[in-house]
Structure 1
Amino acid sequence: MGSLLDLNLIPAVAADVTISNLTTPKLEPKDEPFDEPPNPNPNFTHSFDVYSEYNRISEMFRTAFSKDPNWAQAIVPVPEENSNTMSVPRKSNEPRSNELVRVTNLGIEDERHFRDVVRKTRVIYDSLRVFLANEDEKRKNCNTFGRGHSRADLKSGSVMKARGLWLSRDKRVVGAVPGVYVGDVFCFRIELCVVGIHGLPQGGIDYLASSHSSSGEPVATSIIVSGGYEDDQDSGDEIIYTGQGGQDKFNRQADHQRLEGGNLGLERSMHYGIEVRVVRGFKYDGSPSGKVYVYDGLYKVVESWLEAGKSGFGVIKFKLVRIENQPEMGSAVLKYAENLRNGALQVRPTGYVHMDMSLKKEKVPVFLFNDIDDNHEPMYYEYLTTSVFPPFVYHLGGKGSGCNCVSDCMGDCFCAKKNGGEFAYDQNGLLIRGKPLIFECGPHCSCPPTCRNRVSQNGVKNRLEVFRSRETGWGVRSLDLIPAGSFICEYTGVILTREQAQLCSMNGDNLIYPNRFGERWAEWGDLSQIFSDYVRPSYPSVPPLDFALDVSRMRNPACYMSHSSCPNILVQLVLYDHSNLSFPHLMLYAMENIPPMRELSLDYGEADELTEKLAICN
């Protein structure tokens, strides 16, 4: 992130900062089946101001509202002395902002800052959702009466809103939302509200209502295409979108639609050439909800008309065309990866060097892909599924060091007590929160292989692909959607003591120094902004990692993962096959929902002071 710590403290230098100021709208959502989130606690407040530097609102907005001689009452510049002031904490029942803004011309540091803000917000949401779902499961297992099953996804969104953690609430962004990339995947509808892509938990058309514009004209900012209307047509770059209204409780068209509310907002956005964000929602295997929402970029509304729909009622249709020079649609990438996994493609794309570089050592194939050059380097190394430790490491631990559970382990399990009295994973195998060290059940435990406390030791579940990249050399991606909190793989190598590492480094061997990895585990499950009494986990206390991994001859895909200061993967220390705290396994978990074909990245930590290199030392 460099020196960019807080944009609110940096004066505007690249452009004049002007923000349009409208009155808060009363929104009329496009009817879609969705459970309303529970009522938040109004006592919770929290400031999480994100945006400070905004470009001048484009001339199209001035044109849109300039018909009225009193248009200046609708667009009011923010006084210069207040443009960089921290916002007052919002209350959960406050309406959304009515200020229309467009964010453009961000520098590299700004892009990194906003991306990191979005990533941290998603980490809070997903880890809170996993935590609440696990707590709900505990209550259900304890037969707690007086409280029914609650949806953790909705509750998490509601709690974050109550604490002011929803993004883009203080500014209504038109166009691209800073920090959100085309292709980002969300497993729950409420997540779109949390990160500010789509501000309605239920409506399909998000718009600024006409009642809060002096010209009386609404403006649509985003839509969700999810097949909720029978007259919708979607061919990717072109969408025939059916307006809102006229459906009964069974989602059947039962009345004529009218040019009002969101429908009028889309028509006015077409008239003034205002771009609209498009999110596609569809069923997808591997998602915790069974469905995904993918941000597919910006579209222009180019045509609208009224015609009789399939049910015989009049429907308003809009033709949207995708704006050029954007990254590939995330929904197309997901479908391509799905066809690749299922073998639905008639001809496999050129570039696949090997269909399983693990040589069946993993339960799922690990692909090797290179369509750039003839470099097949990863095939020259022996594939290593788990790290090789020195024999003396296993002197600690043996019979009697494991649990005596006959079936699935429960809360009184010996291994659970070693974890501080709780399991590290929920019933779906997702990491609940990061810790200095996690104890899994091991070979000396009586529980079966299906025990919920045996996650990382069971190996790779997602179809990984080592690929050649023009930007990073070699990289790693997955053909599967990897949900946040999921185990990915172990960072494997031959474990060397300090003395052995010193000798090997003199020979020029490739060594990994685990003590340099960033402590990203502390971010997963960090709910300090949710619970005032939250304390960062400190148990068990782990001595400094004084060993290295030699990957000169034996390795797995982990060592090809790229470094990033805004990573999507964390390193978690785990013990299961021995009890030596000084030599844990390095296990990798997803910090966010990672879509197929998205490169996996780690925080390798700070560079060595002498070599000025990252953790991999050649």
Structure 2
Amino acid sequence: MAAVDVTHGLETHPVPVCGPWEELTAFQYTPDLVAGPGAKEDPSEVTILGCDCKETTCAPQTCACLPFGANYDSRAILSSQRPILECNVMCKCGESCTNQETQKGLQFQLQVCRIPGKGWGLFTKEDIPSGRFVCEYVGEVLGYDEACRRIHSQESSTNNYIIAVREHLHGGKILQTIVDPTQKGNVGRFLNHSCQPNLFMLPVRTHSMVPRLSLFAARDILAGEELCYDYSGKAFNAGEMSANRELEQRTLHSHKRCLCGTPSCSGYLPFDEWLCE
């Protein structure tokens, strides 16, 4: 029997399920962010007009989408310390532009596997070089009140997938993005927490001010490794992206035990202290 593709053919690569797939919690697969209750913006709407570059490879000196310099080199992210804006469908440079890395879909062979005593996890079937884009954390974009309602309606034993990312901009302005892949989501919902993660998350903007919560390889990752990131965002964001663009990342867990098994394990999953107090 062929392995079940958890993406239902909606990604560039199938993602097989290794384990009792019938025990997977039912959810609607989506490769893109969708507007949920209370969302201030529809992430599918094009609100960033893009560049007027005529070349297929945009140059930082002339491209409006590269005000801080090139974002990628040989498909690897160059810096996590500055805002990332990619060229989009409205740009005149075209689909072959190298500044569209997170819009190319899954680029590596992944699989969802059952982990004894831990639940489900996302693994790579091939080596992933450091800095390469791996996947997004996709789900419903929620308003604050709806996120709180969902959190308070959950049982203490229920897995909670809600993540909240806050970007601190110059002048004290804060942009908050809340994503919940519980009912609608992608492979990112299977990523487990680790106190020594091999992925890090960055908000990347393409056609909308709603950022793609993009996960990149923090180091060279070997085939067969479980893919994990730090739910609190502290592992690679300490010092936080720059003085005018601090990023906070939280997931909401009621002090559940951490099962990452790393030498630096804190013992508990990150706990949000500012959302829905």
Q: TM-score, normalised by structure 2?
A: 0.74
Q: Which has the higher helix share?
A: 1
Which residue of structure 1 lines up, in the alignment, with residue 243 of structure 2?
none
Q: 1:588 aligned to 2:215?
A: yes
The structure, 1 or 2, with the larger RCO (C-alpha pairs under 8 Å, 6+ apart) is 2
Q: Which of 203, 209, 213 is 1:573 aligned to?
A: 203
Gaps of 5+ in 2: 235-249, 257-268, 273-277
Give CA deviations for 1:232-275 in whole Å, capped at 9, x if unaligned: xxxxxxxxxxxxxxxxxxxxxxxxxxxxxxxxxxxxxxxxxxxx
* Alignment partner of 2:190 out of 560, 563, 579: 560
Which of residues 60, 63, 77 is equivalent to 1:413? Answer: 63
2:15 aligned partner: 366
The alpha-carbon deviation at position 395 of structure 1 amounts to 11
Aligned partner of 1:599 among 226, 250, 253: 226
Partner residue, 2:162: 512
1:612 is aligned with what amino acid?
Answer: H
Describe the SS at the equivalent of 1:404.
coil
Alignment of 1:232-243 (within 5 A): none
| One-letter code aligned to 1:513 | I
Tell me the alpha carbon deviations over residues 372-405 of structure 1, each in whole angstroms, 9 at most, x when there is no partner.
xx45344621112121134735699647x31011
Q: Please state whether the residue corresponding to 2:202 is helix, strand or coil.
A: strand
Deviation of 1:483 (Å): 0.7
CA distance in 1, matches of 2:164, 2:229: 12
In the TM superposition, 1:101-120 aligns within 5 A as none
Residues 185-584 of structure 1: matches in 2 within 5 Å? 353-354=3-4, 356-370=5-19, 374=20, 376-378=22-24, 380-389=26-35, 390=39, 392-393=41-42, 398=47, 401-406=49-54, 407-411=56-60, 412-417=62-67, 420=68, 422-426=69-73, 428-508=74-154, 510-515=160-165, 543-544=173-174, 546-578=176-208, 580=209, 583-584=210-211
Q: For residue 261 of structure 2, what is the aligned residue in structure 1?
A: none
In 2 relative to 1, CA 413–574 (structure 1 residues): closer, same or farther, beyond 3 Å? Answer: same
User: What code does the residue aligned with 1:572 have?
Assistant: L
Instruction: Give the deviation of 1:544 after TM superposition.
Output: 4.1
1:194 paired residue number: none
Alpha-carbon deviation of 1:558? 1.3
Q: How does 1:144-223 map to 2 (within 5 A)?
A: none
CA contact (8 A) 2:84 2:205 kept: yes
Alpha-carbon distance change, 381 to 539 in structure 1, aligned in 2, over 3 angstroms: same
The verdict on how the C-alpha distance between 1:437 and 1:472 changes in structure 2, with shifts beyond 3 A counting, is: farther
> Could you report, residue by residue, the CA deviation over 1:22-67 in whole angstroms, capped at 9, with x for unpaired residues?
xxxxxxxxxxxxxxxxxxxxxxxxxxxxxxxxxxxxxxxxxxxxxx
Instruction: Give, as a single letter, the amino acid of the residue that structure 1 aligns with 2:143.
Output: T
Distance 1:380 1:394, change over 3 A: closer
- Structure 1 residue 484 displacement after superposition: 0.6
Match of 1:114 in 2: none
Q: Match of 1:566, as an amino acid?
A: Q
Q: Which runs of 5+ in 1 are unaligned?
A: 1-349, 520-537
Deviation, structure 1 residue 458: 1.1
Against the structure 1 CA distance between its residues 563 and 542, is the aligned structure 2 distance closer, same or farther, given a 3 Å change threshold? farther
The answer to whether the 8 Å contact 1:513/1:616 transfers is no
358 and 369 in structure 1: CA distance in 2 versus 1, 3 angstrom threshold: same
Q: Distance in 1 between matches of 2:46 and 2:227?
A: 34
The 3 A distance-change label for structure 1 pair 424 and 357 is: same
Within 2, Cα distance between the matches of 1:450 and 1:366? 25
* Deviation for aligned residue 1:471: 4.3
CA–CA distance in 2 between the matches of 1:568 and 1:541? 33
Amino acid at match of 2:213: L
Q: What is the CA deviation profile of residues 529-552 of structure 1, one whole-angstrom value per residue up to 9, with x for unaligned ones?
A: xxxxxxxxx988895453422222
Letter in 1 for 2:192: S
TM-score, length of structure 1 as denominator length = 0.35
Cα distance in structure 2, aligned partners of 1:542 and 1:384: 34
Contact 1:487 1:587 in 2 (8 A): yes
- Write the distance in 1 (CA, Å) between the matches of 2:44 and 2:125: 40
How many residue pairs are counted as aligned between the two chains?
Answer: 235
Local SS of the residue matching 2:226: coil
- Conserved in 1, the CA contact under 8 Å of 2:163 and 2:252? no
> How far 1:570 sits from its partner (Å)?
0.4
For 2:107 and 2:98, the matched residues in 1 are separated by 15
CA distance 1:405–1:566, shift in 2 (3 Å): same
Which secondary structure does the structure 1 equivalent of 2:145 belong to? helix
What secondary structure is seen at the aligned counterpart in 2 of 1:546? strand
Counterpart Cα distance in 2 of 1:396 and 1:612: 37
Judged with a 3 Å threshold, the aligned counterparts in structure 2 of structure 1 residues 439 and 542 are, in CA distance, closer, same or farther, namely farther
- Whether the aligned pair in 1 keeps the contact of 2:231 and 2:251 (CA below 8 Å) is no
Structure 2 distance, partners of 1:396, 1:381, is 24
Aligned residues of 1:357 and 1:365 also touching (Cα < 8 A): yes
